[in-house]
Amino acid sequence: MSLIVVGSMAFDEIETPFGKSGKIIGGAATYIAWTASNFVKPVQQVSVVGGDFPEAELKALAERGVQLEGVQVKQDQKSFFWAGKYHMDMNNRDTLVTELNVLGDFEPVVPASYQDAEFLMLGNLAPAVQKSVISQMKKRPKLIAMDTMNFWMEVALDDLKEVLKMVDVLLINDAEARQLSGEYSLVRAANKIFEMGPKYLIIKKGEHGALLFHENHVFFAPALPLEDVYDPTGAGDTFAGGFIGHIARTKDISFENMKTAIIIGSAMASYCVEKFGTDRLKEITEEDIENRIRQFIDLVHFDIDLI
């Protein structure tokens, strides 16, 4: 029951109202792998890093059951670098720097040992790279999910539309759903996006939870109200890692099971934001995850008599 994860592995530099991170490890695929490996092994990683990427970080992932055969190390180049700044409303952030470096001319190669994977999570990355990975799969995985962002809608919309035709689930935030569809209403946006290819749409709304759309059904997962939100970077990727990790573990791609998967995604994301970068994700145990899922059940459970 393996899962392929594609995405950036990076250096990030983050500033929030609570502090500055300095240069730390980030990248969409890093967050997804740390999270999904709680639920499914092996996670089969496809990415690219420069010679500056710490050996210890790769080793720590390998020890978690993340296979790195598909991670290219370009010794004489620099890793992808992203810098961002959050203000008091941490639902929005400014991107200060995006240096593609090794990502600029990344040509992914899916190793032969990954070919049996049943699940494919395309983390945020150039749509052409996401498409190349799908095309290299000899047998179509049972479920293909993808994340993307406004940056790719602006610089690679045609490529993005090509990939959308090939995937089952799209995960984006509310602003991106509106940008992609040209619709303000998220229900209308979902219907327009269904016409582009995906059968399932997950719209992430930061501290306001997430919506799962499929045909004319919609389900809502809240975000846990937290006392301290320290750094929201990677929350979306962590959500994706929890979502696909649960689906890959259970091998059940029904709408009902996707409801559980978005609760698990939300629970994992709630841990991610408690510290800078992947620090909190590296600490949490199975018991922590169970406790947080229980908190989600308590948060939304109520009995009501119909009038």
d(Cα 26, Cα 185) in Å, to the nearest integer?
32
In the complex, minimum distance from the CB of residue 252 to ligand AMP, in angstroms, rounded to a whole number:
25
Q: Using the minimum distance from each CB to ligand AMP, give the nearer residue, 9 or 253.
A: 9
Out of 42, 206, 234, 241, point to the residue binding ligand AMP (CB under 6 A).
234
Out of 2, 3, 4, 12, point to the residue binding ligand AMP (CB under 6 A).
12
Binders of ligand AMP in range 78-107 (CB under 6 A): 82, 98
Q: Does 27 bind ligand AMP (CB under 6 A)?
A: yes
In the complex, minimum distance from the CB of residue 124 to ligand AMP, in angstroms, rounded to a whole number:
5
Q: Does 235 bind ligand AMP (CB under 6 A)?
A: yes
In the complex, minimum distance from the CB of residue 287 to ligand AMP, in angstroms, rounded to a whole number:
25
For residue 254, the SS3 value is coil
Out of 118, 174, 231, 237, point to the residue binding ligand AMP (CB under 6 A).
237
For residues 273 and 232, is the Cβ–Cβ distance under 8 A? Answer: yes
Sheet holding 210-214, edge to edge: 66-74, 43-50, 3-6, 119-122, 143-147, 169-173, 200-204, 210-214, 217-221
In the complex, minimum distance from the CB of residue 116 to ligand AMP, in angstroms, rounded to a whole number:
27
Q: Does 34 bind ligand AMP (CB under 6 A)?
A: no
Q: Does 180 bind ligand AMP (CB under 6 A)?
A: no
Q: Does 8 bind ligand AMP (CB under 6 A)?
A: yes
C-alpha separations of 42 from 14, 61, 116, 117, 177 in Å: 30, 11, 12, 10, 32
For residues 44 and 33, is the Cβ–Cβ distance under 8 A? Answer: no
3-state secondary structure 111-159: CHHHCCCCEEEECCCCHHHHHHHHHHCCCCCCEEEEECCHHHHHHCHHH
**Residues engaged in binding ligand AMP (CB under 6 A):** 8, 10, 12, 26-28, 82, 98, 124-125, 151, 233-237
